Amino acid sequence: MQFFLDSANLDEIKKAWDMGVIAGLTTNPSLVAKEGKDFHELLKTVTGIIDGPISAEVIALDYEGMLREARDLARIHPNIVVKIPMTEEGLKTVKTLSSENIKTNVTLIFSANQALLAARAGAAYVSPFLGRLDDIGENGLNLVADLCEIFQVHNIATKVIAASIRNPVHVTEAAKLGADYATVPFSVLRQLFRHPLTDAGIDKFLADWKTLKS
């Protein structure tokens, strides 16, 4: 499993990229709105930092509107992957974009059937939102398990991005289940680095080193 950062914050994006652990980026309208910047300008800047897939979402909900936005986004840089919501109009848009070799990431996936449909429409990626399923008392990891199994059984090339990740346990479990990617907020990425025994071990090594007589 590889990592994407789930953020639209340039400071976080630079830091995460420099750590060498992320393969790309995902954004969504809520994350972009928090930054208060022009969307296309932000994406242009991001393409200068991240050398990998960068998911950018359309706002329109109708086929023509989504198509127009998607083509504009795709023109920004070859690494742009257009995020399309999981709707009937969305799948029709995915089919057309796929025929134009524009990669799509179908977002807001909450069932295995939705993911299967998105894959059949030609999506390069699907994003099951596991945290939001947990929030309503369901088990988001079960969805990731179902998707990975179905895609494997049917030899489907569409990549699974475990999204709406809330904690390190989500990351470990998604990796065990075979998700191709986990897209993680910067706060979770930081949590992945830390372990109290690592901190204690460093303190102990440094304390012992100080007792060395030169």
Q: List interacting residues with ligand E4P (CB under 6 A).
A: 6, 26, 28, 107, 127, 129, 131-132, 163-164, 183
Judged by beta carbon, residue 114 or residue 127, the one nearer ligand E4P is 127
| 204: annotated active-site residue | no
CA 8/CA 129 separation, integer angstroms: 18
Question: Cβ-closest residue to ligand E4P?
Answer: 164
Q: What are phi and psi of 108, to 5 degrees?
A: 65, 50
CA 5/CA 19 separation, integer angstroms: 11
CA 144/CA 194 separation, integer angstroms: 25
Smallest gap, in angstroms, from Cβ of residue 105 to ligand E4P? 7
Judged by beta carbon, residue 137 or residue 196, the one nearer ligand E4P is 137
* Tokens read off for 123: 């999506």
Smallest gap, in angstroms, from Cβ of residue 135 to ligand E4P? 8
In the set 83, 92, 176, 210, the catalytic residue is 83
Judged by beta carbon, residue 112 or residue 198, the one nearer ligand E4P is 112
Containing 183, the helix (H) or strand (E) segment is strand 181-184
CA 107/CA 84 separation, integer angstroms: 6
Annotated catalytic residues are 83
